[in-house]
Amino acid sequence: MFSILRSSRRAAGLPAAMFAFVILLANPSAQAQIAAPPAASRSCPALLQHTFPRLQDEKPQALCQYAGKVLLVVNTASFCGFTPQYKGLEALYARYRDQGLVVLGFPSNDFSQETGNNQQIAEFCESTFGVKFPMFAKSSVTGAQASAFYRQLAASTGQKPGWNFHKYLIGRDGRVAGSYSSSVAPQDRALLKDVEKALSAK
């Protein structure tokens, strides 16, 4: 087969690259294979197509790994009046994780209350509150330096984090299902109701 193709190319006087292109145009199945995006891209919602360094070791983590989960996205800080919410967030994660909830923590110094480096933040969260839910390296969540992920969250809801521990709820379909101010505690009844509603959706 390949020897016939090579002979045909030589007979036509076409360079190898151009001949391959001609073959591609004549082969619809090959076109489909090249045009089709990878399965992972097709199954990952646009909102989750971002990568952040993990807090503990700064290894890149794709948010696409959480596709199909219900996500509670929280911008955190170690020296804030709302910092004890870490305990409630961890309890919420432990309570609903088997049903598909993942809490995602994004430490930020945008409000001047997260001055430590990533290692210090990780040690503080684990030793003080026993945090086990996924957390990412310190980044910006508001203003001109906000990450693309947080800019999308703000655009979807019309609400930017006004302080630490603002919360966004993302449904299994990758769409924002709710936005909650810092004063809404993890055990708030309305928040729990929204989380359970999102978890029940298939």
What are the extents of the domains in the chain? 2-36, 45-200
Predicted pLDDT at 6: 47
Of the candidates 44, 64, 80, 125, the residue annotated as catalytic is 80
Count Cβ neighbours within 10 Å for each residue of 112-151 and write b for 16 or more, e otherwise: ebbebebeebbebbeeebebebbbbbbbbbbeeebbebbb
The pLDDT of residue 107: 98
End-to-end CA distance of the chain: 48
Class (C level, CATH) for 45-200: alpha beta
Q: How far apart are CA 49 and CA 61, in angstroms?
A: 11
pLDDT at 15: 52
Structure token pair of residue 27: 């082969």
| pLDDT value for 31 | 41
User: Phi then psi for 170, rounded to 5 degrees?
Assistant: -115, 130
Full pLDDT tens readout for the chain, 202 residues? 444 444 444 444 545 544 444 343 445 444 434 343 444 445 999 999 999 999 999 999 999 999 999 999 999 999 999 999 999 999 999 999 999 999 999 999 999 999 999 999 999 999 999 999 999 999 999 999 999 999 999 999 999 999 999 999 999 999 999 999 999 999 999 999 999 999 999 7
Tokens of 109: 């110094």
Q: Is 80 a catalytic residue?
A: yes
Q: What is the pLDDT of residue 3?
A: 47
User: What are the residues whose beta carbons fall under 8 Å from the beta carbon of 99, sequence distance 6 or more?
Assistant: 199
Instruction: Write down the pLDDT at residue 11.
Output: 46
Q: Which of 200, 194, 142 is nearest to 166 (CA)?
A: 142
Q: Give the list of residues 6+ apart from residue 163 with CB closer than 8 angstroms, or none.
A: 80, 82, 111, 181, 182
Q: Which of 49, 198, 74, 67 is nearest to 131 (CA)?
A: 74
